[in-house]
Amino acid sequence: MQAVILSGGFGTRMRPLTYTTPKPLLPIMNKPLIQHVIDSLPESVDEVVLASNYKIELLREYFEEYDVKGKTIHVVDEPKPMGTGGAVKNVENYLDDTFFVINADIISSIDLEEYFKFFKSKEAIGAISAWEVDNPEEFGIFELDDMGRILRFEEKPNAWEAFSNTINAGHYILEPEVLDLIPSGEKVSMEREIFPQLIDKGFYGFKFSGHWIDCGRPTSFLEANKTLLKLHEKEHGVNHLIGEKSYVEGDLGDHVSIGMDCTLEECDISNSIILDGVEIDEGCVIEDTIIGYDVTVESGSSLKGCVVADAVIVDGDHTDEKLRGSD
């Protein structure tokens, strides 16, 4: 079985980190976002197709070095932005049966095995994972009947037009016939142009509980890191993570992940993501912050709600309380 992971896009809201690293390779709990998605796939998925474009060579390098046991990985270039439907059509040659389509920037607790069983129990041509939110206008929404069949679907309605708070959670299961509805070589939105055509053909929504986070912004990256660290704490008794060959002096605050080859002197740090090769001198205050690769933070610095680019030096007089990309 195949899974298509939509891993294109420029990751503009995660700049400056995405100037050097494509968003799918940015780590949460010291593991690239894309790897979290792949690890969630059922064993029955033995072939993964990444529909990619921006900094695609780095994705290829990663999967040349990282062995994904039991799965073959294809990194396929999308020569121009083609929308979600066009991206799937572009990899049509890799698809020969029922397949998953998953957004690469979703961290969730969905059980994809149970989802697939649900799909196979229906006479369905397609299905969408379903999550409930308070403010649905930023998402595609749909209405379900008691059997889980989708009665209507609308992509990003105005607030006053929202008829449901059940949103498209970014995991699709589709039969190959859906590909026939997508024109070749064109930019096509699966959500706006294809899904409405499936409603009369057997289109279902699969509800799940637990957690669901769209990691499109620095704030949601931190939220995902915090959520996974809470799960880590239940299993291991600690709510932080320290990578190999890293040295930390003193106690860490809650919900902190630290990459490899880092050195942290005595400082006040909480709810933050520290990537590999970072040095933080004593007396620093770091909260709600993502620090890029190979950064030096000099003594006395205060970073609250920041995104720090790779390979910079933050001097001791620096105070910043703006989270870039949070709007």
Query: Does residue 204 sit in the same domain as residue 241?
Result: no
Query: Does residue 94 sit in the same domain as residue 198?
Result: yes
Query: Does residue 77 sit in the same domain as residue 55?
Result: yes
Confidence of residue 324 (pLDDT cuts 50, 70, 90): very low
pLDDT at residue 66 in the model? 81
Query: Does residue 198 sit in the same domain as residue 61?
Result: yes
Confidence of residue 327 (pLDDT cuts 50, 70, 90): very low
Query: Does residue 209 sit in the same domain as residue 254?
Result: no
Query: Does residue 95 sit in the same domain as residue 204?
Result: yes
CATH number at residue 254: 2.160.10
Looking at residues 60-69, what average pLDDT do you find? Answer: 84
Query: Does residue 312 sit in the same domain as residue 201?
Result: no
- The secondary element (H helix, E strand) that includes residue 223 is helix 218-236
CA–CA separation, 94 and 55 (whole Å): 22
Confidence of residue 239 (pLDDT cuts 50, 70, 90): confident
**Which residues span the domain enclosing 69?**
2-214
Confidence of residue 99 (pLDDT cuts 50, 70, 90): very high
pLDDT at residue 177 in the model? 94
Of 214, 249, 266, which one is at a domain's C-terminal end? 214
Max Cα distance, the chain (Å): 64
Query: Does residue 15 sit in the same domain as residue 47?
Result: yes
Count of the separate structural domains present in the chain: 2
Q: Which residues of 16-51 are buried (b: 16+ CB within 10 A; e: fewer)?
A: ebbeebbbbbbbbbbebbbbbbbebbbeebebbbbb
The pLDDT tens digits of the residues spanning 266-300 come to 899 999 999 999 999 998 999 999 999 999 999 98
| Closest-CA residue to 151 (of 195, 116, 181, 117) | 195
Looking at residues 192-212, what average pLDDT do you find? Answer: 91
Residues with a catalytic annotation lie at: 156
Is the pLDDT reported for residue 319 higher than 90?
Answer: no
pLDDT at residue 260 in the model? 94
Residue 293 lies in a domain: yes
Tell me the three state secondary structure of residue 231: helix
Looking at residues 176-192, what average pLDDT do you find? Answer: 91
CATH number at residue 15: 3.90.550.10
Residue 94 lies in a domain: yes
pLDDT at residue 82 in the model? 86
Residue 42 lies in a domain: yes
Looking at residues 187-205, what average pLDDT do you find? Answer: 90
pLDDT at residue 154 in the model? 73
Residue 219 lies in a domain: no
Pick the more confident residue, 282 or 143. Answer: 282
Query: Does residue 37 sit in the same domain as residue 136?
Result: yes
Confidence of residue 157 (pLDDT cuts 50, 70, 90): low
Query: Does residue 164 sit in the same domain as residue 237?
Result: no
Query: Does residue 9 sit in the same domain as residue 89?
Result: yes
Of 160, 185, 214, which one is at a domain's C-terminal end? 214
Looking at residues 291-313, what average pLDDT do you find? Answer: 91
Of 186, 214, 242, which one is at a domain's C-terminal end? 214
Query: Does residue 239 sit in the same domain as residue 210?
Result: no
First CA to last CA across the chain, in angstroms?
A: 38
Residue 325 lies in a domain: no
Give percent of the chain above pLDDT 90.
Answer: 52
pLDDT at residue 323 in the model? 41
pLDDT at residue 325 in the model? 36
